[in-house]
Structure 1
Amino acid sequence: MAEALANILQVQDWGMIQIRADLTRAGDAIAGAAGLALPAQGRITSDGNRSLGWMSPDELLLVLPQAEVAEALAALSDALSTEHALVLDVSDMRAAFRIQGPKALQVLMKLCPADLAAMPEDGLRRTRAAQAACGIWREPGGYVLIGFRSVADYLRGILTGAAAPGTHLEPR
C-alpha cells in the first residue's frame, strides 16, 4: 500500500488567545506580555514554544501551551489595562492540525486557493481549506492549519483525504 503524502495530526494541547487592540499604540505592551516580538503584517513570530501571529490590522493570535493560557491572559490584560483592547481565550473555539512531511505543501495546495508556495518562511496566511476558513503557517517539517472547532471533523476529513495515497489532484 502506498504511503500518505503527509501525516495529519490534530493538536490537542495548544491554547490560543485573541488580542484585539491598536497595534501601533499597544504593540510594545503586547510584545512584552506575550514574550515575543510583534509580527509584521502577514507574519508570525515564534520561539518554538509560543507563536504570535498577525491576523488583521488590529488583531493578533497568541498560540501557546494550554497550561500557560491563564498566566498569559493575566499578563496581557494587565499590560493592556489602559488601552481599548480585547484579550480573549479562544482555545475552545479553535482546532489546530499539523500537516507534516515532504509533500505537506502539495496536500494544502489541493485544498486552498492561496499561493502557499509563495508564502515566506515566517508567513501566516488566512485563506480557506475547501469551504472552511482557516489560517496557515509553516513550522519545521510542515505546516499548521487552524480553523473553527465547529468544523474540525470536516477539516480532519479533507486534510486526510488530500493526503491519501492515490489522490492525484493537481495543486492549484
Structure 2
Amino acid sequence: MSKAVSALDGVTFDGFAKVEETRLRGMITVRGDLSSKEMAAAVTAATGAAVPEVRKVTSGNTGAVAWMSPDELLVVVDYEAANTTVATLTDALKDSHALVANVSDARAVFRLSGDSSRDVLAKLAPVDFAKDAFGAGDIRRSRIAQVPAAVWGNEDGSFEVICFRSVAQYVFDVLKVSAQPGGEVGFHCRA
C-alpha cells in the first residue's frame, strides 16, 4: 500500500499573511435529512458534535461538522479515523435515506493566518469577510478565483480553505499571489 500524502506536500508561503497546506484530514460527505433525529444521533455518535446551523461549523471530541447545503454536511476527523467514522455513520443511518462517502483523498486544505488574512480572502472570493459578518465557526461554500472552495473561520482568527485536490496547486498559487508583500489593501475587512 502506498503512503498517503497531501496534495502539495505541506507547501507554505509567508507574505503579509501566511499560507500553508495542512496535514491530511479525514473528510466525509453526509447527505440526508439534516433535521432528522437519526441524523443528529449519527453525527453526535461519530464526532461528539451537533448538527450545525446553516453556514456554521460545530466541534466535538473526535471531529468537526460543517454545514454545506440544506441536505449536506462535511464531517472532518483525523485522517486515520475516516473509514471507521464512515462505518459508524453508515450504520447509524442504515434505515434513513442518506449517503455517506469518504472524500478525504479528493480534497486539499490550506490554512491562512495573520492579521491581513481576511484581505487575502476578500480579494479572491465573493464573500463578506468583515469581522462582524464572518467569524469563528462560520463557513461559506463559494469560489477562490475560478474554482469552487469552502472557507471556514477558526477560533484563533485563522481560516481553512478546502478545495478539490485536483486544483490544489492553483488555489495555493492564487492565495500566494494575493498575499504577496506590496499587495496589501489596508482594509483588513473592518467590522
Counterpart residue number, 2:24: 13
Contact 1:50 1:62 in 2 (8 A): yes
Q: Report the aligned-residue RMSD.
A: 1.8
The Cα offsets for residues 35-68 of structure 1, whole Å up to 9 and x where unpaired, read as: 2111001111124762100001110001111011
Q: Which has the higher contact order (CA 8 A, sep 6+)?
A: 1
Counterpart residue number, 1:75: 88
Q: Secondary structure at the match of 1:116?
A: coil
Seen in structure 2, the aligned counterparts of structure 1 residues 102 and 47 have a Cα distance that, compared at 3 Å, is farther
Count of equivalent residues: 170
Contact 1:110 1:169 in 2 (8 A): no
Residue 106 in structure 1 maps to residue 119 in structure 2: yes
Contact 2:127 2:142 in 1 (8 A): yes
Give the % identical residues: 39
Task: Give 5+ residue unaligned stretches, structure 2.
Answer: 1-13
Task: Give 5+ residue unaligned stretches, structure 1.
Answer: none
Contact 1:33 1:72 in 2 (8 A): no
Contact 1:28 1:38 in 2 (8 A): yes
- Greater Cα shift, 25-34 or 99-108: 25-34
Contact 2:29 2:103 in 1 (8 A): yes
Q: Secondary structure at the match of 2:178?
A: helix
Contact 1:20 1:60 in 2 (8 A): yes
Contact 2:136 2:157 in 1 (8 A): no
| TM superposition score normalised by structure 1 | 0.91
The Cα offsets for residues 111-162 of structure 1, whole Å up to 9 and x where unpaired, read as: 1111022124221111111111111111124100001111100000001111
Q: What does residue range 82-121 of structure 1 map to in structure 2 within 5 Å? A: 82-117=95-130, 118-121=133-136
Counterpart residue number, 1:162: 178
Q: Secondary structure at the match of 2:20?
A: strand
| TM superposition score normalised by structure 2 | 0.83
Contact 1:30 1:38 in 2 (8 A): no
Contact 1:42 1:54 in 2 (8 A): yes
Q: Where has structure 1 moved over 3 Å in runs of 4 or more?
A: 168-172
**What's the offset of the Cα at 1:169?**
5.2
